[in-house]
Amino acid sequence: MRKRAGPRRPTQVEIAQRAGVSQATVSLVLNGGDGVPVAEETRRRVQQAIEDLGYAANPAARALRGMTVKTIGLYTFESVFPVDQRDFYHPFLLGVEEEAARLGYDLLLFTSANTAQGGVYARGRNALLKADGCVLLGRHISRDDLANLAKEGFPFVFIGRRDIEGTELSYVAPDYVTPTAALVEELAALGHRRILLLRQTDGAEPGDDRELGLRQGAQAAGLRPDDLVAEFSSGAADIGTDRVTGWVRDGVTAVLVEPSEDNATGLALAEVAEAAGLRIPDHLSVAFLGSAPPPTATRIWTSFEIPRVEIGRAAVQLLVNLLEGAEQPPLQLVVPCTDVRGNSISRVVRR
């Protein structure tokens, strides 16, 4: 984990100067007045200054005054909140819930997660301010939302590595690089010399990490850069017979699949390959760079498992460290994944 100073949070003094009021008046507005009336026009000026400067109240300071609500938010950028046990993100939710309870924090679930409606700032202001801080997750993120939250100084931790130009975020992410590199080295030891990485079309950081692992593993195994192929897939529909057999004609003997939430792309690849007479793993080795489809009576996919519950717990731990003033953002933690030994890769068999 590494830490360094984050963006400076505007002070109440700066808000007071912008609004033309005293700092005490700003404090009254921020803290609800404590029974002391504040003129409506003055309140509006202070609130406008707060919005202009991007001020977010420091939960650690509120805790020192006994005013913290001891509430952690969980926000997902996905259109459906992950309450279904079959949802890819559900184990993250379990980890967040368990760790929040263990540390004595309530959990507030934000369900207005459809970015088509504006995301975190759908109503023109940060909807997450109802909580002391927030854990965020989801593949279909709004980078503008993340940048604005960081600019405000609002405490949050993202599940997954995300890069935002001009700022650094606190996050907990799976280590995709190391196990991907290890798989490439294993395939090279089995005689594979041309390996294809099948990526998701969104081109997000997890795919970049997997491609980095592909190239690191190839270099360690003595493969040439020209021996590696990286292609994008928009889903199962674009995995056709011509495409798969074209890979094989081009010398590809192993495919590494970046999983989607339903793994439809990888399953389509297996179905098309088998229909074309390409047995897995005899003619084409296939591995998933993350959580694979469930095993069947005849197939256990070689892959690695993302410790999703543990990552959810770790995200809460980092967030509480920020809230309680133990450390300063950004806090960034990379968590190892667990190898799954399957029967979908093997030594190269020449046809």
Same domain, 274 and 229: yes
Domain that holds residue 34: 12-57
187 and 168 in a single domain? The answer is no
Per the structure, the count of domains in the chain is 3
Choose among 198, 288, 195, 213: nearest CA to 250: 195
Higher pLDDT, 313 or 7: 313
Clarify whether residues 52 and 197 are in a common domain.
Answer: no
Q: In this structure, is residue 2 part of a structural domain?
A: no
Residue 35 lies in a domain: yes
Domain membership flag for residue 344: no
CA distance 78 to 112: 10
Same domain, 180 and 301: yes
**Could you read off the pLDDT of 281-325 as tens digits, one per residue?**
999 999 999 999 999 999 999 999 999 999 999 999 999 988 887
What is the CATH number for 160? Answer: 3.40.50.2300
156 and 179 part of one domain: no
d(CA 176, CA 173): 9
300 dihedral zone (left: phi>0; alpha: psi -120 to 50; beta) = beta
Q: Is residue 5 part of a domain?
A: no
- Please state, rounded to an integer, the average pLDDT across all residues of the chain: 85
Q: Are residues 144 and 238 in the same domain?
A: no
Whether 342 is covered by a domain: the verdict is no
Task: Mention every residue, 6+ apart, whose C-beta is less than 8 A from residue 60.
Answer: 322, 323, 324, 325
Q: What are phi and psi of 260, to 5 degrees?
A: -100, 175
Query: Is 348 part of a structural domain of the chain?
Result: no
Q: Tokens 């179905």 identify what position?
A: 271
State the pLDDT at residue 117. 57
pLDDT of residue 67: 47
pLDDT exceeds 70 at position 37: no
Q: Are 245 and 277 in contact (CB under 8 A)?
A: no
* Cα(193)–Cα(246) distance, integer angstroms: 16
CATH at 23: 1.10.260.40
